[in-house]
Amino acid sequence: MAFSASPHCAPPLHRFALRRSPPPQPPLAFMRCPFFSSSSFRPVYFSPAPTLRIIVSAKSKKPSSGRSADSTSASAIDFLTLCHSLKTTKRKGWINHGIKGPESIADHMYRMALMALIAGDLPGVNRERCIKIAIVHDIAEAIVGDITPSCGVPKEEKSRREQAALTEMCKILGGGMRAEEIQELWVEYENNASLEANLVKDFDKVELILQALEYELEHGKVLNEFFLSTEGKFQTEIGKSWAREINSRRNSILVEKRKGPK
């Protein structure tokens, strides 16, 4: 998000974190944890481990040569457990503006995936790939949290942290084709390297201003900065069209408010 959740830039309780050695290149630190299979590692917590309980089968703890069904299942559940924080971490931009009960990172990515699903066909654009990019574009925030401009982290450093986190997540998944695909999709989005990435970048901004409009109506706030920060930055016709519609609705609402009660 250009703007995110939790009043602090450091991940809150129940968040995975980076343990830093001397800057500027803090490595990710992982430790063995009983909630995960013995072949896996998980990031160190800032605070006591979450209450989430995962039952790991005795079979999954046995060392195995190669990728057995048991080890593959254990890696999948470890990865999905790590992604739990995407459902519970609130986007920082809304917290910074005093929105109570704001959307989570997963909420944001889900509606972006819906946008990819319902968007009209575009020549040369792979809809399925757009949906996949939308689902993974913020996935590294399961470890690093929602780093926003208010955190003062340079763009290059933010990208480096997220890439390191994604690499660790893919190790937890056990590597292989699916992990490679997640890496590839994330890099494609990060580099804005395809028509699909262009479109999903636009969906990211569209979802932001649509959510801002909804919070304005729900909480009686004026959230101009989200509209100003995205103005003129849409790359595709669908993105531009949807942004115009959202801004048109907002302007109509503002006009009605200025008129006051009849």
| Domain layout of the chain by residue ranges | 71-257
User: Mean pLDDT in runs of 10 for the chain (262 residues)?
Assistant: 45 40 41 40 37 37 56 93 97 94 97 96 94 98 92 92 97 96 98 97 98 96 95 96 97 86 67
Q: How far apart are CA 196 and CA 178, in angstroms?
A: 19
The residue whose two tokens read 């997640």 is: 182
Question: Which residue from 9, 65, 27 is spatially nearest to 168, judged by alpha carbons?
Answer: 27
pLDDT at 259: 80
Sign of CA dihedral 151, 166, 23, 154: negative
pLDDT at 151: 87
Domain 71-257: give its CATH code: 1.10.3210.10
Please state, in angstroms and rounded to a whole number, the distance separating the CA atoms of residues 218 and 72: 44
Is residue 165 within 8 Å of residue 143, measured between CB atoms?
Answer: yes
